[in-house]
Amino acid sequence: MKLTDILRLALGNFLRGRIRSLLTICSISIGVASVILILTLGDGSRAAISEQLDRIGLDGIMIYPKQIAISQGIALTGQDAYELAENIQGIDKSMPIMVRYGSYRIKNWQGNALVYGVDDTMRDVLKVDLLYGRMLNRIDVNAGKNVIVISSDFAEMVYRRKNIVGKSIRIYVGTNFEEYEIIGVVSSHKDGISQLLGDTLPQFFYVPYTSLMRLVKEDTVDEVVILSDDESVAAKAVSYLNRKYGNSNSFRFENINGIRDRIDNVIYLIAMFISAIAAIAIIVAGIGIMNTMMSQAIERKREIGIYLTLGATGRDIMLSFLAESAVLSAIGGILGIIVSVIPISVVSEITKIQFSLQLRHILIAEGISIFCGLLFGVSPAMRAASLNPIDAIRSE
């Protein structure tokens, strides 16, 4: 038999048992859609989280005291950050930073706040985009002024507009509070994934670290962030601080890009694990294909015998069954690809994250589908090919 004859026979058998074939196709499409959906959401989530880390300034290298050093009263100061920038070659920017969890009150609004104590290099180190007003400057930091930079989503939430420069807000940390003047509005941090969490995420605020130290009645900072991807530069900075504080093992550094990579790998592994579970649906559908084809081999025994008598070989019969399995799998896979577009679009609309269907996801899911179809079609195909023509024709 020619290849065209085999394909025509496979398609004819598919159409003849259309109800059973459609049920099998539906089961395949569900499995394929599940795999594509999970792979797409996994990739999109990794990209969105990386973007969020960029937005909140997680870039560069952090230097901070070890726990044993903290217990001995060793801590960093703002001056340490400036000394590192002056004395260590390779450090472009160095910023003291402290972060405190608190709350805010403005007009009739109140809620949770994550207060960043920073300096005038915040624009470079934290990668924030100024929309209105100005950033913190050296005068604000040196004088410990009660000025604050807020995000645009917060401004819109409270005043229904982004430009609220000049307004006042009260910041609480513990039982202490201060009134701050809003001097700048930066691009929002709460989009994408964080939209899912809504009000459970605190609002982000930026104040001079000197002002925050006065608010919390402390004279040290949490860490120093340096703009450098070279860990040897960070090692020199740590050595400098260890010498300064007279202890050879007081400080450590951590590359924030390494943290991002670890988060990225965790999300990837989770996506792969869930995709493997979703792939089980395709395997179950493959068993359905085997059941369908096995039933066809039994029901069409007489027809197969006639084909064999007319000159068809066992190989021809096997190929026709495998072709039918491949057709079922391919159609189910295509339908699954189409179906997956709907939930992907819905999730994108809800989360405001751009989830896009990738060609490699389609190829992976469709490849698994066709492979399972062929794999589970082998047994029925071999059974049909091994029939004795005379016995097959005699069967009812």
Residue 387 maps to a domain: yes
Average pLDDT over residues 5-9: 61
pLDDT at residue number 177? 96
238 and 98 assigned to the same domain: yes
Asked whether the predicted pLDDT for residue 396 surpasses 60, the reply is: no
Q: Do 223 and 275 fall into the same domain?
A: no
Task: Give the pLDDT confidence score for residue 199 in this predicted structure.
Answer: 53
Identify each DSSP E strand in 227-304 by its residue range.
Answer: 251-255
The residue written with tokens 């000159």 in the block is 311
What is the pLDDT at residue 193?
A: 45
| Residue 120 belongs to a domain | yes
Q: What is the pLDDT of residue 231?
A: 87
| Prediction pTM value | 0.63
Give mean pLDDT, residues 278-297: 79
DSSP string, 5-56: HHHHHHHHHHHHTHHHHHHHHHHHHHHHHHHHHHHHHHHHHHHHHHHHHHHT
Domain end: 244, 276, 301, which one?
Answer: 244
Q: Answer yes or no: are the C-beta atoms of 106 and 120 closer than 8 Å.
A: no
End of a domain among 244, 270, 302?
244
Q: Are residues 284 and 335 in the same domain?
A: yes
Tokens of 184: 């700048």
Q: Looking at the structure, do residues 104 and 170 belong to the same domain, yes or no?
A: yes
Give the model confidence (pLDDT) of 95-143 as tens digits. Answer: 999 999 999 999 989 999 999 999 999 888 887 889 999 999 999 999 9
> Across 164-173, 230-239, 251-260, which has the greatest mean pLDDT?
164-173
Token pair for 116: 């960043």
Examine residue 233 and state whether it is found in any structural domain, yes or no: yes
Q: Please provide the average confidence, as pLDDT, over all residues in the chain.
A: 84
Residue type, 54: D
DSSP class per residue in 173-196:
ETTEEEEEEEEEEE--S--THHHH
pLDDT at 395: 62
Tokens of 21: 């074939």
Within a domain: 61: no
Distance CA 210, CA 131 (A): 24
Residues 207 and 313 in one domain: no
Residue type, 251: F
Annotate 45-81 with b (16+ C-beta within 10 A) or e (fewer).
Answer: bbbbbbebbebebbbbbbbbbeeebeeeebbbebebb
Domain that holds residue 150: 75-244
Task: Note whether 302 and 355 are same-domain residues.
Answer: yes
**Residue 76 forms beta bridges with which residues?**
221
The total of structural domains in the chain comes to 2
pLDDT tens per residue, range 158-212: 999 999 999 999 999 999 999 999 999 998 755 544 554 445 568 899 999 999 9
Q: Are residues 25 and 156 in the same domain?
A: no
Domain boundary among 215, 244, 273: 244
pLDDT at 17: 62
The Cα–Cα gap between 277 and 272 comes to 9
Length of the chain, in residues: 396
Which amino acid belongs to residue 212? L
In a domain, 68, yes or no: no
Higher pLDDT, 270 or 190: 270
Q: Are residues 235 and 279 in the same domain?
A: no
Euclidean distance between CA atoms 298 and 329, whole angstroms: 21
Q: Is the same domain home to 300 and 379?
A: yes
| pLDDT score recorded for residue 52 | 65
Give the per-residue pLDDT at 242: 92
Q: Look-up: residue for tokens 């260890």?
A: 242
Residues 13 and 122 in one domain: no
Residue 389: inside a domain: yes
| Mean pLDDT, range 270-276, rounded to an integer | 78
Domain match, 374 and 235 both: no
- Asked whether the beta carbons of 77 and 166 are under 8 A apart, the reply is no
φ and ψ of 183, to 5 deg: -110, -15
- What is the share, in percent, of the chain residues with pLDDT greater than 70? 88
Q: Is residue 249 part of a domain?
A: no
Residue 316 lies in a domain: yes
pLDDT the model gives residue 7: 62
Q: Which of 82-91, 209-218, 349-358, 386-395 shows the highest mean pLDDT?
A: 209-218
Predicted confidence (pLDDT) per residue in 16-67, tens digit: 666 777 888 888 888 888 888 888 888 887 777 766 666 555 568 899 999 8
Same-domain pairing of 146 and 274: no
